[in-house]
Structure 1
Amino acid sequence: MFLRTVLHCLWIGSMTSWVRGLDFNFHDSKQIEVYLQSVSKNYSTFTNLYSIGKSVQGRELWVLVLGKYPMEHKVGIPEFKYVGNMHGDEVVGREMLLHLIDYLVKNYGADSTVTRLIDSSRLHVLPSMNPDGFEASAPPDCVFSKGRYNRNNVDLNRNFPDTFSTAASSSMQPETQAVMSWIQSESFVLSANLHGGTVVASYPYDNSNGGSELVNGVSRSPDHDVFVHLAKTYSYNHTTMHTGSQCGSLTFPDGITNGYQWYTLIGGMQDYNYIWGQCFEITLELSCCKYPPADQLADFWQQNRAALLAYMQQVHLGVKGQVLDVDGNPIPSAVVEVQGRNNICLYKTNKHGEYYRLLLPGTYTFVVTVPGREPMKRTLQIPNGPASFSALKYDFVFQSNSPTSDSVAAESCTTANHSSNNAAASLQAPHFAILLALAGAVAMSGLVHS
């Protein structure tokens, strides 16, 4: 009984110490767990802690969510996420996300930007997607260590389904499956994953098979303009990223790059988010050295703080709303298309009949398709949503509940049918082998970052 009391007091003491402030040091998986539990306990009115699954070695993949309604999704409030430490030896992003949490909870109600961010969106933060890899890595290491991969020696950023390729790095890992299930369970609108090894913001596509998406060496998505804007939002709010020259001979104009133009990546997470998750994601490389000395962390925080906040605010780009019937009932799985943007997987409403579409200010024509109804076409003028912390709200209401045509919604886009049947034909098998061999060689030389 005495021992139990002592242990309880020690646990309470550790929880209390976290409230006083998060230090600039590297924190192991247990310390992160205790810290997140402390935050969830002490700021319970606007935070919630949950796990999306476990690593190979059984470590929880903890996510802290911040929002006015932290426990559940609310119609009209967009979902945002940050993912850190996908490669276990790339550790700066892991600590930046912890300090972001610390900054948000301490400034909610005191700082207007922080307060509006939390009240207008639901922010999910996964500090470490690869806790096993972190525990296996060793500081300092600027180039490459065994901690890059998960415990099964798999690169998690080569482990997702790829619409341009049927090649897979290996069997799907528990960390990958956890994130895929997470993406499908929430209506995420915007995301970023944090890496290290250089300083740049990279955007989709990471892969190509030489189809119409490939233009002058750039694998362009239908939302190329939005992705360039998102990447520049981060790079120009970062203190130095926008200069484009940080790490030796590598040069990135404006501090951004198209993923494929940089190097080919098969099975990447950002393409999976965008194509199958209806979630715009970019990759943020935050440090030349993957595992720098801890005494540099305070400087990294000063470099990234404004950029992390500004990027989250972009979740309010474009337009949002519901597709409803004449009685106001939501219509799930309605297809919401923007003319001129032929997404590989058509954007569909969620179970609440909601849609979110990130678009820069301008005029766009929407076509909404519901099985058995005449398609609805509307032209909307989109304002600058992030400035007011709200995208334009527009509901598409079908005036008749009776079928008026034989029109049907497009076939559902799934990883099963799209790996071999997609908007661009699959790569040939010999090309897979060459690309994978090159990727492996580059990784071993320490040049692969994302």
Structure 2
Amino acid sequence: MHGNEVLGRELILKLADYLCDEYMKSNGNIRELIHQTRIHLMASMNPDGWQLATDTGASDYLTGRTNNNSVDLNRNFPDLDRIMFSHEENHIDHNNHLLQDITSIKEPLQPETRAVIRLIMQIPFVLSANLHGGDLVANYPYDESKSGKLTGEYSSSPDDETFRHLALQYSLYHADMADPKRKNCGDVDSAQFAKQGGITNGAKWYSLQGGMQDFNYLSSNDFEITLELGCDKYPNDDVLENEWKRNKNALINFIWQSHIGVKGIVYDSVTKLGIPNAVIHVKNVTKNIQKDIQHDITSVHDGDYFRLLTPGQYKITAYRDGYLPHTRLVTVINRPFTQAQRVDFALKPISLPPYIRIQPDNFINSKPDELFSTAQKWENWRNGNQEPLALE
């Protein structure tokens, strides 16, 4: 995203090469990873900035950071955080896929930003990371503070526990990101990162608006973190091999994290066809926590879904208009280098026979729980448990 922060670009290119080589060498772990995972690699989101930084010999800390229109792409995404924070304050349940709620933007979207948003909307990503330079830390949402404070305010997302896990799964597998004895990058925050396991909440470090990390989380099903890969934004080519060795295990392990939690198909119990856009809601009931995770995801094209979760016990509910909700109690146990636990949901359609009479005004004015009760009674009748109804 920042053209002068070049290590991520080189690591992505090397990662592609490594995955292909190790697959051909019959590396069991890499073969399993490739067979089970759709991996998308973008070496550069800002080629113009990279070209400028390269042509000028990486002469300073900022040249090439922005795109050809002098815009910082990591401040150019629609600000969905403020919408989410407003929903939280007003107890509005709408907590994901918030792009549709945007009514205006402060700055025009850049061509690169538009292209990446189109990619995010078209492909149902589960997990991602954007790679930067200038410090050594794994950064996780939210990047924007809820109060507007510029630094020092921890801004937790509903999936804070899962995001902390994801960040640690990079930092702990990196050669020294989580090592308290490692060299820091010269500022007070950097000196503290390693003592925190090599991770930080974004807004706790410094608040930013329009970042890609939070946009992914609030506009789609994707969980994204930001990786700061080192103090030097434009390192010399003679250190690239060592940097690959420092990051290789962390990169591979991070990709494996797309398989934590649960996955499955939401389908129609009658037609057996997958149901897209079904809502997946999760309640954490581990050790009587009884806490709803106020961030829902949705099933995609063929009814498939992936829900990243840390180990624990959860009540997971799938629902969509026209169907009865279905809740399952699931114990999540994340085993390394294996697929996520399969949890499917067969939703029963709500269908009323033609000889049931419905008075439109009463039906429209019914409360949601009353409608659900009616639907449940009809379902009971279909199963032979009670007489048919006449709704007046």
2-structure distance, mates of 1:341, 1:256: 25
Change in CA separation of 1:382 and 1:259 when aligned onto 2, cut-off 3 Å:
same
Deviations 1:332-391 (A, max 9, x none): 1111100234445x3111121111100012110012221133322211111214x24200
Deviation, 1:168, is: 5.2
- SS at the partner of 1:282? strand
Change in CA separation of 1:122 and 1:403 when aligned onto 2, cut-off 3 Å:
farther
Q: Which of 235, 240, 248 is residue 186 of structure 2 equivalent to?
A: 248
Q: Which of 264, 276, 280 is residue 321 of structure 1 equivalent to?
A: 264
Change in CA separation of 1:146 and 1:303 when aligned onto 2, cut-off 3 Å:
same
- 1:99 is aligned to 14
Contact 1:140-1:293 at 8 Å conserved across structures:
no
- Map 1:11-410 to 2 at 5 A: 86-109=1-24, 110-138=26-54, 141=58, 144-165=61-82, 170-210=107-147, 217-244=153-180, 245=182, 246-249=184-187, 250-251=190-191, 252=193, 253-326=196-269, 327-339=271-283, 340-343=291-294, 346-385=296-335, 387-400=336-349, 402=351, 406=371
Deviation, 1:165, is: 3.6
Structure showing greater Rg: 2
Deviation, 1:112, is: 1.2
- 1:28 is aligned to none
- Structure 2 residue identity aligned to 1:95: E
Contact 1:318-1:392 at 8 Å conserved across structures:
yes
Contact 2:281-2:316 at 8 Å conserved across structures:
yes
- SS at the partner of 2:39? strand
Gaps of 5+ in 2: 84-103, 284-290, 354-369, 373-392
Gaps of 5+ in 1: 1-85, 408-450
Question: TM-score, structure 2 length as denominator?
Answer: 0.76
Deviations 1:276-303 (A, max 9, x none): 1110110001110101111111111111
Aligned residue pair count: 317
1-structure distance, mates of 2:59, 2:341: 44
- Structure 1 residue identity aligned to 2:121: Q
2-structure distance, mates of 1:305, 1:388: 16
Deviation, 1:162, is: 1.4
Deviations 1:127-160 (A, max 9, x none): 0000011011136548623210011111000011
- Structure 2 residue identity aligned to 1:357: R
- Structure 1 residue identity aligned to 2:45: M
2-structure distance, mates of 1:341, 1:262: 27
Change in CA separation of 1:338 and 1:143 when aligned onto 2, cut-off 3 Å:
farther
- SS at the partner of 1:205? coil
2-structure distance, mates of 1:113, 1:357: 23
- Structure 2 residue identity aligned to 1:382: V
Deviation, 1:184, is: 0.9
Percent identity, aligned pairs only, is 44
Contact 1:320-1:394 at 8 Å conserved across structures:
yes
2-structure distance, mates of 1:364, 1:104: 35
- SS at the partner of 2:161? helix
Deviations 1:181-206 (A, max 9, x none): 10111110000010000110000000
- SS at the partner of 1:243? coil
Contact 1:143-1:290 at 8 Å conserved across structures:
no
- 1:68 is aligned to none
Deviation, 1:238, is: 0.5
Change in CA separation of 1:99 and 1:365 when aligned onto 2, cut-off 3 Å:
same
Deviation, 1:207, is: 0.7
Change in CA separation of 1:121 and 1:275 when aligned onto 2, cut-off 3 Å:
same
Contact 1:184-1:277 at 8 Å conserved across structures:
yes
Contact 2:268-2:348 at 8 Å conserved across structures:
yes
2-structure distance, mates of 1:266, 1:234: 24
Question: TM-score, structure 1 length as denominator?
Answer: 0.67
2-structure distance, mates of 1:143, 1:280: 32
2-structure distance, mates of 1:198, 1:228: 18
Contact 1:196-1:287 at 8 Å conserved across structures:
yes
- Structure 2 residue identity aligned to 1:302: K
Deviations 1:411-436 (A, max 9, x none): xxxxxxxxxxxxxxxxxxxxxxxxxx
- Structure 2 residue identity aligned to 1:240: D
